[in-house]
Copies of this chain bind each other. A is one copy, B any other.
Amino acid sequence: MLRLYDYLSSGNGYKVRLLLAQLGIPFERIELDILKGETRTPEFLQKNLNGRIPVLEIEPGKFLAESNAIMFYLAEGTPFLPENRWERAQVLQWMFFEQYSHEPNIATLRFWLMHGELTEERRTALPQKRTLGYAALEVMEKHLAGRTFFVGGRYSIADIALYAYTHVAHEGEFDLSNYPNIRAWLERVRAQPQHIPITQD
């Protein structure tokens, strides 16, 4: 059985959990407390040198890291990843956008405000991350004008990747009221069969 090393409130972990639920693939979930350094132990670093969850253990001793790489692996040959080369490239474009322009701002502010104390360094970095987070939302809002999903008019892992931290953006004090296209798209994602919330393991 697949084994997922995970942390329940992580949007990156949630991406994989949600996709596995929608694919109907059973898996064993191993919860690690990232706040207690459980992903930086010598034992865990043997699974992922980069010391982060999620990690999928595909078979004993065979580990894959990076949420979006894991989703691509699981989605190949399923309706969650287009077969068409051009559409597949666009799915990847949005997943790289998510990891570079969206997650480091929107997810990071959520993490800081939910868990961490706001150190001096974080306080200095916050306004820039706020600006870049809204810039990412702006890109999404414009792209979604006249579109139902991010790529090819169909729900795919590009939507899952972007949904994970957008639907909890308010926990990082991002206000989505000026983003009607994003809010309608969040509803469409939530309405997909076998959807599960981020808090469900």
Chain A residues close to B by CB (< 8 Å)? 49-50, 58, 62, 64-70, 72-73, 76, 85-86, 88-90, 92-93, 95-97, 99-101, 103-104, 121, 124-125, 128, 139, 142-143
Contacts and interface: CB of A to CB of B under 8 A. Distances in A.
Contacts of A96: 66-69, 95-96, 99
Q: How many copies of this kind of chain does the complex include?
A: 2
A159 to B, nearest CB: 16
Given A64-B93, A68-B92, 7 more contacts: A49-B139, A64-B90, A66-B92, A73-B85, A73-B89, A99-B100, A100-B104
Contacts of A67: 96
Nearest to A77: B85
Contact of A121 (B72, B99, B128): B128
Contacts of A62: 86
Nearest to A103: B100
A108 B83 CA distance: 35
A181 to B, nearest CB: 13
A18 B75 CA distance: 29
A76 to B, nearest CB: 6
Contacts of A100: 66, 99-100, 103-104
Contacts of A142: 49
A70 B67 CA distance: 19
A92 B72 contact: yes
A76 B85 contact: yes
A77 B155 CA distance: 26
A67 B100 CA distance: 11
A49 B93 CA distance: 12
Contact of A92 (B69, B125, B139): B69
Contacts of A88: 72-73
